[in-house]
Amino acid sequence: MPSSKNFLPRMAALLLLIASTALTMASDPDYYPQGGAQYFTTHSTLAPLDGDSHNNDGFGDFTALEYHFHVYFFQNNEASTADANRLRQGIVDAVANGEFVAVCHGVDDTVLPGFNSTDYVPPVNMGPRGPHPAGSYEVWVPQEHLGMATSFMMLNRGENSVMLHPLTRHCVEDHTGRVMWMGASFNIDRTVLAFDEESCDEPQYPELGLGYNGKGVVGGVW
């Protein structure tokens, strides 16, 4: 055990270094928070939040008609990657069998008749991309088929972590306050998310006539 003679000066130097680092980080304009991270925190705040700041009274979204599942896996782990691919192929097969409508990498017009947006389907990410911190892929589901798709995910996800979020123009809230997880959750990178922009997660695959493009949906809902 170090003597108190040596310990105290070392501790003082350490505390000085920590304080100096904190001041530098606080004054650096490039330091957190940036982007969408400015609108979400894992800490308490210095003043109470008003009601409109943390529930739908402020956001004012009437309803959510389209959703994303994001399946996460460890891209450098062969078993984890294989398990994620197993789940994805299971989704493709379920869509081909007419169990529900969903779009992910591997779905085309031979799997889902009438679907012609294959070029716009995101690929499997073999590493971090956007807000996603690990290997992942996206599964789009319209509200008409959300129940069956969710049931399939619950029963077949294996050891994959799955995040479910709605698609509205409030991208940060969709990926934070409105998310649901199956399995262990991941801490996503919120800095890349846009706040209150129509281009955040726009309605997808209009040719299917589902979700925000469904029959009877009043224009301007988005």
Question: What are the structure tokens assigned to 22, written together?
Answer: 């904190």
CA distance 33 to 47: 18
DSSP structural state of residue 131: T
| pLDDT score, position 20 | 57
Q: What's the confidence (pLDDT) of residue 125?
A: 97
Give the predicted TM-score (pTM) of the model.
Answer: 0.80
CA-to-CA distance for 198 and 20, rounded, in angstroms?
41
Question: Is the pLDDT confidence value at 77 over 80?
Answer: yes
Over pLDDT 70: what percentage of the chain? 78
Q: Distance of CA 178 to CAs 19, 54, 93, 133, 215, Å?
A: 36, 11, 29, 19, 26
- With 0-12 / 13-18 / 19 or more C-beta atoms within 10 angstroms meaning exposed / middle / buried, residue 114 is exposed
Q: What is the Cα–Cα distance from 138 to 3, expressed in whole angstroms? A: 57
- Give mean pLDDT, residues 136-160: 98
Long-range contacts of 192-195 (CB under 8 A, 24+ apart): 192/35, 192/36, 192/130, 192/131, 193/35, 193/36, 193/37, 193/131, 194/35, 194/36, 195/36, 195/38, 195/39, 195/170, 195/171
* Token pair listed for 213: 């493009």
How would residue 220 be classed by pLDDT, with cut points 50, 70 and 90? very low
Helices (H), the chain: 4-27, 56-59, 78-96, 146-156, 171-174
pLDDT higher at 3 or 194: 194
Query: Per residue in 1-44, pLDDT tens?
Result: 555 556 666 666 656 656 555 555 445 556 667 787 777 777 77
The residue-averaged pLDDT of 136-156 equals: 98
What's the whole-number mean pLDDT along residues 137-160? 98
Q: How confident is the model at residue 59 (pLDDT cuts 50, 70, 90)?
A: confident
State yes or no: pLDDT of 54 exceeds 50. Answer: yes
On whether the 64-213 domain is CATH 3.30.70.1240, my answer is: yes
Where are the alpha helices (H) located in 97-170, listed in sequence order? 146-156
Q: Does residue 218 carry a pLDDT above 50?
A: yes
**Is the separation of the CB atoms in 65 and 198 below 8 Å?**
no
- What is the model's pLDDT at position 62? 80
Which tens digits make up the pLDDT trace of 172-185? 889 998 999 999 99
Query: What are the tens digits of pLDDT across the range 87-133?
Result: 999 999 999 999 999 999 999 999 999 999 999 999 999 999 989 99
Residue 103 tokens, joined: 């779009």
3-state secondary structure of 90: helix
Domain residue ranges in the chain: 64-213
Percent share of the chain, pLDDT over 90: 58
* CB-CB contact of 51 with 57 (8 Å): yes
Q: What's the average model confidence in pLDDT over 190-209?
A: 83
